[in-house]
Amino acid sequence: MSEPPPAGEDNAIIVDARYVLEHRLGGGGMGVVYRALDQLMVKHHDRDPYVALKLISESLRQNEEARMMLQRECSRAQKLSHPNIVRVFHYGWDRSTDSDYLTMELLRGESLEHVVRANPKGMAWSRVAPAIEQLCNALDYAHSEGIVHSDIKPSNLFLTDSMVLKVLDFGIAAPMRSADTASSETLLNPRRLGAVAPRYSSLEMFLGKDADPSDDVYSAACVIYELITGKHPFQGLETPRAAELDLQPEPVKLLSRAQNRVLRKALNFRRKDRTATIGELRDGLLRQQPIMRGIRLFYAVVAGVAIAAVAMTLLLRLGPVRQPPDSAVTTTPREAPLERASTPPPPEPAVSPTATTTSAPAVAVPVRTSTLPATQTQRTQVKSAEQKVTKAPPVAAAPATQAPVAGGKALTERCQSLLEHAQLGETLSEDENAYIREKCR
**Residues with catalytic function:** 151
Q: Mean pLDDT across the stretch 207-221? A: 94
pLDDT score at 59: 84
pLDDT score at 323: 53
Q: For residue 23, how many C-alpha atoms fall within 13 Å in the half-sphere facing its CB?
A: 2
330 has a pLDDT exceeding 70: no
pLDDT score at 329: 46
Q: Mean pLDDT across the stretch 49-64? A: 90
**Mean pLDDT of the chain, nearest integer:** 78
299 has a pLDDT exceeding 60: yes
What is the C-alpha separation between 27 and 204, in angstroms, rounded?
Answer: 26
**Coil, helix or strand for 128?**
helix
Return the percentage of the chain with pLDDT > 70, whole number. 69
Q: Is the dihedral of CA 121, 127, 132, 138 positive or negative?
A: negative
300 has a pLDDT exceeding 90: no
351 has a pLDDT exceeding 50: no
pLDDT score at 133: 97
What is the C-alpha separation between 190 and 68, in angstroms, rounded?
Answer: 11
CB 76 within 8 A of CB 168: no
**Coil, helix or strand for 58?**
helix
Q: Mean pLDDT across the stretch 301-310? A: 79
What is the C-alpha separation between 180 and 77, in angstroms, rounded?
Answer: 17
Nearest to 188 by CA among 69, 342, 293: 69
Q: Which of 322-336, 356-370, 390-404 has the highest mean pLDDT?
A: 322-336
Domains in the chain with CATH codes: 14-104 (3.30.200.20), 109-179+189-290 (1.10.510.10), 350-439 (no CATH)
350 has a pLDDT exceeding 90: no
Which has more confidence, 175 or 244?
Answer: 244
Of 66-75, 99-108, 258-267, 356-365, give the lowest mean pLDDT range: 356-365
338 has a pLDDT exceeding 60: no
Q: pTM of this prediction?
A: 0.62
What is the C-alpha separation between 201 and 152, in angstroms, rounded?
Answer: 8
392-434 pLDDT per residue, tens:
444 444 444 444 444 445 677 888 888 888 888 788 888 888 8
148 DSSP β-pair partners: 174
Q: Mean pLDDT across the stretch 156-167? A: 96
What is the C-alpha separation between 389 and 370, in angstroms, rounded?
Answer: 14
What is the C-alpha separation between 368 and 386, in angstroms, rounded?
Answer: 7
80-116 pLDDT per residue, tens:
999 999 999 999 999 999 999 999 999 999 999 999 9
